[in-house]
Copies of this chain bind each other. A is one copy, B any other.
């Protein structure tokens, strides 16, 4: 039954990739043995799916980019005010979980597949920020690249806060949205 074979192989491959994202997020220089242990497979099996470390890194980058693109699509960046879209994006990205650590601690990993994070060169993101500048929901003094850095750093801080302090994802997400909202909203009094 080839379908079952593919199912088993696909399942193992996915387990390795998920474990790799978790482990590499906390330690980009982790040994392959650690990843194999985390995935609950032997190191031999890992090498059977990804002969060299670089093969695994490429697959991790592809998986991460796919999850990232899915989250971006779910945020519907072109709907509502610029600020509302930005906060929707924060909520979607926050669900990426441990992938946030990997994106932040190993920027070069994903940057070759999807150079979104560091460079603010994502057209959709820039367009969203520009819309916010025009509709008055985002401070025009804050350029899109800086807001990209701002958002990613707070996402990482929030995720680290959850994992290290054992706080509720929901509560931390609320704090995060609150501070991002406050940071980008034009100051009415001043």
Contact = CB atoms under 8 A, between A and B. Distances in A.
Given A118-B160, A189-B188, A179 B142 contact: yes
A185 B182 contact: yes
A139 B185 contact: no
Interface residues of A, number: 34
A97 interface: no
Nearest to A151: B157
A46 to B, nearest CB: 20
Contacts of A158: 149
A75 B156 CA distance: 26
Interface string A114-150: 0000100000000000000000000101110110011
Contact of A178 (B139, B156, B157, B188): B139
A154 B160 contact: no
Interface of A: 28-29, 105, 118, 139, 141-143, 145-146, 149-150, 152-154, 156-158, 160-161, 164-165, 172, 175, 178-180, 182-185, 187-189
Given A149-B158, A182-B182, 12 more contacts: A29-B29, A142-B178, A145-B161, A149-B160, A150-B154, A153-B153, A153-B154, A153-B157, A179-B184, A182-B184, A182-B185, A182-B187
